[in-house]
Amino acid sequence: MNFRHSWIIALKDIKVFIRKRTVLYMIVLLPLMLSVIFPLVIEFAKGGGITGPYLLTLLHSFEWFFVIIPAIIPAPIASYSIVGEKLEKSLERLLATPTTDGEILLGKGLAAFIPTIIATYAGASIFMTLIDAVTNGRLGYLYYPNWDMGVILLLLAPLALLLSIELNIITSSRVTDVRAAGQAGSLMFLPFIGIYIASEIGVFTLDTNNLLIIAGVIAVLDVVLFRISTSLFQREQILTKWK
Amino acid sequence: MIDTENLTKKFGDNTAVDSVTLHVDEGEVFGFLGPNGAGKTTTVRMLCCLISKTSGNARIGDYDIGRSEDALKIRRLIGLVPDNVGLYEALSAYDNMDFYGKLYDRTESQRKESIAALLKMLELWEKKDVPVATFSKGMKQKLAIALALVHDPHILFMDEPTANLDPEAAKTVRDFILDLKKQKKTIFLNTHNLDEAQRICDRIAILNTTLRAMGTPEELERSVRGKVTVIQLEESNDAVLAAVKKLKLGDVLAEGNKLTISTANPEKQNATILDAVFRAGGRIQSVNVVGSTLEDAYLKLVREREKV
């Protein structure tokens, strides 16, 4: 595996995304909006008499969105990674270069991973700073940084992001038309929404231990999916069966 | 440089390429002619290790297309101009070329040098920083060829490089291919443009799932019918027709005042024919030697296949 080739492909894809403004907006807007909206909700709910324990529960709910965000954002980038090459009819030329399937897939994955994780961390930084600003008076201490958010940002967000990218790449390299890739790719965040709802209705709590268990499960899924994605990426099928 | 032996590709029950055996020499421009769906692109894709072969063998240089460990070496040796230009429209011409140069592990100085040389040669240097989306079809096609050459490959596979181009752009591309020929590049040219094949190819193969014929353009022309001598007489004359037939040089066809004689070697036999015409009392208005064209050969060979 020549990692330099993957890096070259990733940098090219990122350059293309930056030129395509709509993709860039999709990456930046969601984390930015949520990082501002959530603190505003806390601030405006002050008059509603949110008590300390309820405030903490609310903050806990908001934190999970920084796992959902990286599962949502890469959908357009990752599904575009293979589909886009096919759309621009550049895939045949790319496949004719001395690069392996693994190098191409890793490059495509990095292209989706890097901007998404940067946007997620930037959004989380704004979120934590604003939350600390609006809750410090009520709690009497700075709520962030804390262990839960550490696990979410350093473990769960990157792992969920990898899972979403892999599922999107698998989908986009298997389906035979562009719209199908986009539609299938956009459903990848549903399991994370499911976990959020389960925690909200009390099936389990998203405490540090459970977050670590979820991270472990996602890590295993990531490894399995990476193997599946490399075995399913078949040059011949992509070249000859795509419409 | 390129050798195939009974190379075959099947997609399910459909045979796209059937037992193709050919050899392309180093520095040769080899034309691969055939109608749409004849298997030309499939053959190129097999030779470029983009799709697998079903059976048979093929070698590019010293490497076997059937060996997975040779695939990367083959791809390093070749350049591919696909039937679709395959450019990143949002990127500039320079960025497109630089990307592929990097994937072929060219150093920065090598990339700069080859990109500048190719873009200047193809008259794209002035537009090097402009997004490709703004390029005309001809400019995109020229850039597509430049991309395939950024790593200075020994062998170039070109799939319909002048399709959909206006005559001026097509001429620029053809001239460029002739320049590459002077540089001793081996060029495998897929085309259904007979005129183009005749002008730039050293040898031509005609494919319609199976290989129908292979040879120089002249050999293929001769393979259909050879040449005919057409004699226009002042008036028709049975004695002249009988005299020419008596020579038994080939088929003789009389249409009004015109005699058409199929001959193996008109340059040598015409003197005998004309002597017989004079002796039989024929008065000659004109004599022409007419050869068959590559188009005649192509149509005959392709239709033979269709009849099968």
Q: Are B177 and B29 a contacting pair, CB within 8 Å?
A: yes
Here the ipTM equals 0.84
- Rounded to the nearest angstrom, the minimum Cα separation between B157 and chain A is 11
* pTM of the full structure: 0.81
Distance CA B259, CA B256 (A): 8
CA angle A201, A202, A208 (to 5 degrees): 125
A88 at B interface, C-beta within 8 A: yes
**Higher per-residue pLDDT: B167 or B53:** B53
Q: What is the pLDDT of residue A49?
A: 62
Q: What is the pLDDT of residue A18?
A: 85
Q: Do A16 and B82 touch (CB under 8 A)?
A: no
Q: What is the pLDDT of residue B217?
A: 86
pLDDT of A92-140, one tens digit each? 899 999 998 889 988 988 998 999 999 999 999 999 999 999 888 888 8
In sequence order, the 6+-apart residues with CB closer than 8 A to the CB of B76 are A98, B104, B151, B153
**Higher per-residue pLDDT: B222 or B269:** B269
Q: What is the pLDDT of residue A179?
A: 66
Average pLDDT of the segment spanning B41-46: 95
Q: Count of A–B CB contacts within 8 Å? A: 76
Q: What is the pLDDT of residue A84?
A: 78
pLDDT of A205-224, one tens digit each? 888 899 999 999 999 999 99
* Nearest residue in chain A measured CA to CA from B52: A236
Phi first, then psi, for residue B124 (nearest 5°) are -115, 0
pLDDT band (50, 70, 90) for residue B101: very high
User: Looking at chain A from residue 13 to 52, which residues have their Cβ under 8 Å from any Cβ of chain B?
Assistant: 15-16, 19-20
Q: Do A98 and B104 touch (CB under 8 A)?
A: yes
Distance CA B202, CA B212 (A): 17
The proportion of chain B whose per-residue pLDDT surpasses 70, expressed as a percent, equals: 96
Sorted by where each begins, the domain ranges of chain B are 2-221, 226-291
Residues of B in contact with A16 (CB under 8 A): 88, 90-91
* Nearest residue in chain A measured CA to CA from B157: A96
pLDDT of B126-173, one tens digit each? 999 999 999 998 899 999 999 999 999 999 999 999 887 888 888 888
pLDDT at B197 over 60: yes
Q: What is the pLDDT of residue B308?
A: 45
pLDDT band (50, 70, 90) for residue A237: confident
CATH topology of domain B2-221: Rossmann fold (3.40.50)
pLDDT at B307 over 70: no
- Rounded to the nearest angstrom, the minimum Cα separation between A87 and chain B is 9
CATH architecture entry for B226-291:
2-Layer Sandwich (3.30)
* Nearest residue in chain B measured CA to CA from A90: B86
pLDDT at A167 over 80: yes
CA angle B272, B243, B291 (to 5 degrees): 55
* Nearest residue in chain B measured CA to CA from A13: B88
User: Which residues in B have their CB inside 8 Å of a CB on A?
Assistant: 11, 45, 48, 50-52, 72-73, 75-76, 78, 80, 82, 84-91, 95, 99-100, 102-105, 131, 147-148
Distance CA B276, CA B75 (A): 62
Q: Is A36 exposed, middle or buried (0-12, 13-18, 19+ CB in 10 A)?
A: middle
